[in-house]
Copies of this chain bind each other. A is one copy, B any other.
Amino acid sequence: MSRFLGGEDHESYFTNTQRHRVVYEILTKTVYGRKKRSEVGVDRLINEGAYTAAFPLHEGPFELPKFEIRPEELNQRQVLYHYWARWFEWYKYQPLDHIREYFGEKIALYFAWLGFYTAWLLPAAVVGTLVFVSGVMSMGTNTPAKEICTSGDTYLMCPLCNTCNAWNMSEICTMAKMGYLFDHPGTVLFSVFMSFWAVTFLEYWKRKMSTLAHHWDCMDFHEEEERPRPEFAAKAPTMEQNPVTGVKEPYFPEKTRLTRMFTGSMVIIMMLCVVMIFLVTVVMCRGIIIVMMFHTESPVLRTEAGTIANISSSIVNLGLILLMGRVYTALAEQLTKWEMHRTQTQYDNAFIFKVFIFQFVNFYSSPFYVAFFKGRFVGYPTNYGTLFGMRNEDCGPGGCLIELAEQLFIIMVGKQLINNIQEFIIPKVKAWRQKRTLAKVLGSKASHEPQRWEEDYKLVECEGLFEEYLEMVLQFGFITIFVAAFPLAPLFALLNNWVEIRLDAHKFVCEYRRPVAERAQNIGVWFNILEALSHLSVIANAFLIAFTSDFLPRLLYQYKFDNELHGYVNFTLAYAPLNHTENCRYKAYRDNNGNHSLFYWELLAVRLSFIIAFEHVVFFVLRAIDWIVPDVPESLEVKIKRERYLAKQALAENQEALLQATHPLET
């Protein structure tokens, strides 16, 4: 949607978006001023159906001419297409200055950010892959897994459901080996690394951002006179003086807006409850699937029950997430419109906030559940914890971390795949539909050489950067918050982003109508969200390593008993209470009465101390990084100071000259 900030004076607005010619009609106040107060503009006319569209024109076709021409003769759009929007260009820097000139600062900043983020993903992906490979290499040295595999029928385990049979520990040999891949000392180091990575990335992005803002001359860009949105203007009941510009403007009472925002929040909370209900449903389905598979006599199904159930439920989960996301985004748009925000910026921020909160819960609640809650409330034989009569689910024999990794893989990679396919197909479908409409309207006149605006009318309207940013920010969350469980996440993110950049570039250059250029100083509220995510990731990683990973129990066992972990498996298995029918074992640190053993409490203290130490050290170092790395590069700082100094000097000289000119006799 092409948006007009100032409805009354198009001229001054269009000088802002220099070099863009726009299909527009000049409206005089006299036509509309009387009918409905003073807010007028093309947007209003489109809103009322007088026009079907208004957009700046592209500079020409994007295809390169068939005959050879010199690069200087290409139009801007062709340049962008040739040097940026093609797959062959994947290894090249983006021509940011050209993007900015053609699309404006806001869109250029998005691509600058995306490129910067992708470049920073490279080291993270390399380290992550190394960690994963080192896990694969050292899988053989894992004593507990070896002990499990060679245990035969030494460890008779308690049944996993009330009607199931007891089983032998040695059956899950493969899973135990696999579990080590996602739960070895390297992953701990890697999650520390990623915490630092995330914060350093944001620090350096600040520097990049200020450099770009200075280069593009929008460092001191403030929007003082943002006009009300046309929707707002149309529906506002009264007029009030704007305190900044002094002009009378449509006004919506603050109080009503607050109650509306409150109602809006209630709707969000309701939707979040729906997400939670879905989550519980998926969990219960998973339980039922597992029980069903235990009852089949196939040994493969029995040992792999957890994995199969987990993967299938993750796929269902992904479907639900995408569905809910779509429904909710539509709902949020209506809600935000109904909340009556005066300016587009306010509207955007409210919308971003709403959707982000929801999508955050939508995407992360299931991994959070697996990481921090699954398997914590199982209880012990003779005293199992239950929910709706079903026994609370426990993590599989490989540990919770491997299930988390499976789930992350499916949700993250699956989402990226589906997204990219959508981004590829949907514009094409839309463009085809648009073309048909145009053809109908033009009818027989279609034979003439099509005008630029007809060509551009066939394109899809640009939907803004919201979806793009949201996708990237959710990805950032996946690679930082759960990195302890899934060291390959940065690699997948990197691969996705390499595709994403060119896909987005192609969309903007070839498939979208040219958007109205907008200025921006930075990436706005998204930066704050990224910062919050990076802090959250430190906390999440601390808890993940302390409670979900087997790192600390192993360490404590090594310290107290055996440095080679001999006997560790036996040590982690408690005996079922004596009043239980079978004399089986289960994974816990409990004595024969089901009470927590001394080791449990010691371990708990170690775990909590680890969290405290980890968080304090990491946050302290992050603070130090924040403090040491200046937000503006030193050379730029000097440049800005120099400019300011020269400006001051020029002003002083100017005034002196003026004084001389007006009072020539006094000197």
Residues of A within 8 A of B (CB): 222, 224-225, 243-246, 539, 598, 601-602, 604-605, 608-609, 611-612, 615-616, 638, 641-642, 644-645, 648
CB distance from A467 to the nearest CB of B (A): 25
CB distance from A295 to the nearest CB of B (A): 39
A597 closest partner in B (C-beta): B598
- Contact, CB under 8 Å: A224 / B644: yes
Question: When A244-B638, A601-B601 are in contact, do A644 and B608 touch as well, CB less than 8 Å?
Answer: no
Task: List B contacts of A616 (CB < 8 A).
Answer: 539
For A225, A605, A641, A642, the residue with the greatest tally of chain B CB atoms inside 10 Å of its CB is: A605
CA distance A638 to B243 in the complex (A): 7
- Contact, CB under 8 Å: A222 / B612: no
- Ordered nearest first, which 10 A-B pairs have the shortest CB separation? A601-B601, A608-B608, A604-B605, A244-B641, A243-B638, A224-B645, A224-B641, A244-B642, A605-B605, A244-B645
CA distance A225 to B612 in the complex (A): 46
CA distance A602 to B602 in the complex (A): 8
Known: A244-B642, A244-B645, A615-B615. 6 other contacts (CB 8 A): A222-B641, A224-B644, A243-B638, A598-B598, A601-B604, A608-B608
For A225, A601, A615, A616, the residue with the greatest tally of chain B CB atoms inside 10 Å of its CB is: A601
- Contact, CB under 8 Å: A645 / B245: yes
A245 closest partner in B (C-beta): B645
A532 closest partner in B (C-beta): B623
> Which residue in B225, B601, B615 is a CB contact (below 8 Å) of A645?
B225
CB distance from A413 to the nearest CB of B (A): 31
Task: List B contacts of A648 (CB < 8 A).
Answer: 224
CB distance from A623 to the nearest CB of B (A): 9
A616 closest partner in B (C-beta): B539
> Which residue in B243, B246, B601 is a CB contact (below 8 Å) of A602?
B601
A-B CB contact pairs (8 Å), 28 listed: A222-B641, A222-B644, A224-B641, A224-B644, A224-B645, A224-B648, A225-B645, A243-B638, A244-B638, A244-B641, A244-B642, A244-B645, A245-B642, A245-B645, A246-B642, A598-B598, A598-B601, A601-B601, A601-B602, A601-B605, A605-B605, A605-B608, A608-B608, A608-B609, A608-B611, A608-B612, A611-B612, A615-B615
Task: List B contacts of A244 (CB < 8 A).
Answer: 638, 641-642, 645
CA distance A225 to B642 in the complex (A): 9
CA distance A244 to B611 in the complex (A): 47
CA distance A244 to B649 in the complex (A): 12
Task: List B contacts of A246 (CB < 8 A).
Answer: 642
CA distance A224 to B642 in the complex (A): 8
A610 closest partner in B (C-beta): B608
CB distance from A594 to the nearest CB of B (A): 15
CA distance A605 to B611 in the complex (A): 12
CB distance from A612 to the nearest CB of B (A): 6
CA distance A645 to B225 in the complex (A): 7
> Which residue in B243, B539, B605 is a CB contact (below 8 Å) of A642?
B243
Task: List B contacts of A601 (CB < 8 A).
Answer: 598, 601-602, 604-605
CA distance A608 to B611 in the complex (A): 9
CB distance from A75 to the nearest CB of B (A): 32
Task: List B contacts of A598 (CB < 8 A).
Answer: 598, 601
CB distance from A436 to the nearest CB of B (A): 47
CA distance A539 to B615 in the complex (A): 12
CA distance A641 to B645 in the complex (A): 24
CB distance from A542 to the nearest CB of B (A): 9
A652 closest partner in B (C-beta): B12
Task: List B contacts of A642 (CB < 8 A).
Answer: 243-246
Task: List B contacts of A224 (CB < 8 A).
Answer: 641, 644-645, 648
CB distance from A539 to the nearest CB of B (A): 7
CA distance A225 to B643 in the complex (A): 12
CA distance A605 to B615 in the complex (A): 17
CA distance A605 to B608 in the complex (A): 7
Task: List B contacts of A615 (CB < 8 A).
Answer: 615
CB distance from A613 to the nearest CB of B (A): 10
CB distance from A311 to the nearest CB of B (A): 33
Task: List B contacts of A645 (CB < 8 A).
Answer: 224-225, 244-245
CA distance A164 to B582 in the complex (A): 58
CA distance A644 to B245 in the complex (A): 10
Task: List B contacts of A611 (CB < 8 A).
Answer: 608, 612
A595 closest partner in B (C-beta): B598
CA distance A609 to B642 in the complex (A): 53
CA distance A612 to B642 in the complex (A): 48
CB distance from A224 to the nearest CB of B (A): 5
CB distance from A638 to the nearest CB of B (A): 5
CA distance A602 to B601 in the complex (A): 6
CA distance A601 to B612 in the complex (A): 17
CB distance from A631 to the nearest CB of B (A): 14
CB distance from A658 to the nearest CB of B (A): 12
CA distance A448 to B616 in the complex (A): 69
